[in-house]
Amino acid sequence: MRLPPAILANAEEVLREILRFAAPADTTLSRYFKDHPRLGGRERGAIAESVYNVLRNKNFYTDFSEAGGGATMRRLTLLGMADAVGLEALGGVSEEEAEWVTRIMGIDRALMHKSSRSNMPKWLFEKLVEQMGEEETLALADAMNQPAPLDLRVNTLKANREEVIAKLAEAPIRATPTPFAPQGLRVLQKPQLQNLPLFKDGHIEVQDEGSQILSAIVAPKRGEMVVDFCAGAGGKTLSLGAIMRNTGRLYAFDVSEKRLAKLKPRMARSGLSNVHPVVIAHERDAKIKRLAGKIDRVLVDAPCSGLGTLRRNPDVKWRQKPEAIGEMQIKQAAILAGAARLVKGGGRLVYATCSVLDDENEFIAKQFLEGHPDFELVPMSKALAEQKIELDMGDYLKLLPHKHQTDGFFAAVFERKQMPKKAKEAEEVEAADDE
C-alpha cells in the first residue's frame, strides 16, 4: 500500500524546519506531529525515518540534490523517504524523479571523497582522523550513519532475562541477549513497547547496552550510599537501584527539575523505593556538601557533546560547534571535582560521557588525577573483570559502535585513598562551614 502524496509534503515541511538546527530534531518532530494529529502511525514513522536518513547522509544527499533540476528540499526529502520506505511505497513521485532517485541510491559511496563519505562536518572528521586515524574514523562514521538497534534492560527485581525473552516472543518480538551487559536484550525491529504489559509493569526499560555497562562498573553493593550525580531522566539510576536490590540509599541529583520529573513514573513502574531524586542548583550546592565524604559510589555521567549518540541523534553532529567543546571541558572538570567531594575513603568515583572525543574523555580524567592526589585510577580492565564483563580494555572504557555495537561511551574509574583521621575531620568541618 502506497503512502499518500501529501506525506512527501509533510516530510519536506518538517525537514526544512529541522535543517535550521534551532532545536533538537526529536523535539521538532514531536511538536510537528502534535500539530498534525491526523497523521497515522505509519505516516509518522515514514516521516521521522526519512528526516533521520537525511541527517545521517546530509553531505552525500546535499551534493546531489543541489545538482540538476527541481527544488533542493524536495530532492533531499525524496532521497530520505526512498531510503526509509522504498521508492515503490511513495505516491506522487514523477517518472523523472524516480529515475533520479534510483540513480543516486545506486552510487558506490566507497568511491567518494573520504570527508564526504563520512557525512560529518569537516571539523569533526579532521579531529577524529587526528585522534584515531583515517581508516578507523571512516569505520566509525559508517557505523554512526546506521540506525541503532533497540536495547532493553531486564529489571531483575521483577524478572530474569530468559523469562522476558519468552514473554517478548509471545508478542511476537524477537530479542537476543546482549554480548556484554548481563541483563541486556537487543531487539532488531522497532516495536511499540509502551502498550506491552512487560513495559507497563516495569519488567523492562529501554537502555543502550553501553549505558548498562556504565552502571555495572559503578558496582554498587547492597546497603550502600550511592549518588547518580547527573541523573537526568534516570535510566542509569534505575539500573543502579536494581543492582543494589532496592536496598541502601540512592540519590539522583540533577539541575533540571523537568528531567527528574520524568524519573518518577519510571521509578513507580520499576518497584524501586530506595531512590531519592534531588534538584540541585550547581555542583557546589549545599545539599551536596552535607554528604561530603559519606558516599560509597558516585557516578558522574557528565554533560558532553553527545557525539557518541549519532546513530540515534544524527542532528547532533550538525548542531554541535567546535568551540563548544572547550566550554564543555570547563563544566566537566567542575562537575567531576564537585562530585569527588562526596566520595568516602575507599569509595569509587566513575566519570563517564557519551562522547568519542579525547578532549572530553582522557583529557578530563588525567587532569582530575593531577589535581586530586587523594584519588587513584582503577584500570578499566580490573573494573570489568570484577563484574565478569568480557571486554578488552586498558585503563579506560572506550565503547564504539563499529567495534561493540553500542553507542560511543567513555568511562574512567577512580578510587579515593583512605583518608587519615585528621584529614577526614578537616573535610567534615569544611563541609559544615560551607553550609
Annotated binding site for S-adenosyl-L-methionine: 254, 301
Residue 323 and residue 375 in contact, taking contact as beta carbons nearer than 8 Å? no
Q: How far apart are CA 317 and CA 309, in angstroms?
A: 9
Q: Are 104 and 20 in contact (CB under 8 A)?
A: no
Q: Does residue 47 contact residue 100 with C-beta atoms inside 8 Å?
A: no
Between CA 27 and CA 33, with CA 28 as vertex, the angle to 5 degrees is 100
> Are 361 and 336 spatial neighbours (Cβ–Cβ below 8 Å)?
no
CA-CA distance, 77 to 82, in Å (whole number)? 8
172 burial (CB, 10 Å; 0-12 / 13-18 / 19+) is exposed
Residue 36: all three cell numbers together: 498534525
- Cβ–Cβ under 8 Å, residues 434 and 289: yes
Q: What are phi and psi of 173, to 5 degrees?
A: -130, 125
Give the β-pairing of 204-206 and 375-378: unpaired
Going by C-beta distance under 8 Å and a sequence separation of 6 or more, which residues neighbour residue 105? 79, 82, 83, 87
One-character DSSP codes across 168-183: HHTTT--EEE-SS-TT
Contact criterion met (CB below 8 Å) for 267 and 275: yes
Residues 6+ apart with CB under 8 A from 374: 416, 417, 419
Q: Name the amino acid, one letter, at 17.
A: E
354 part of the active site: yes
The grid coordinates listed for 55 are 541527517
Q: Could you tell me the three cell numbers for 188? A: 532488531
From the list 159, 225, 227, 354, the catalytic residue is 354
E strands, 23-163, in order: 150-154
Residues identified as active-site: 354
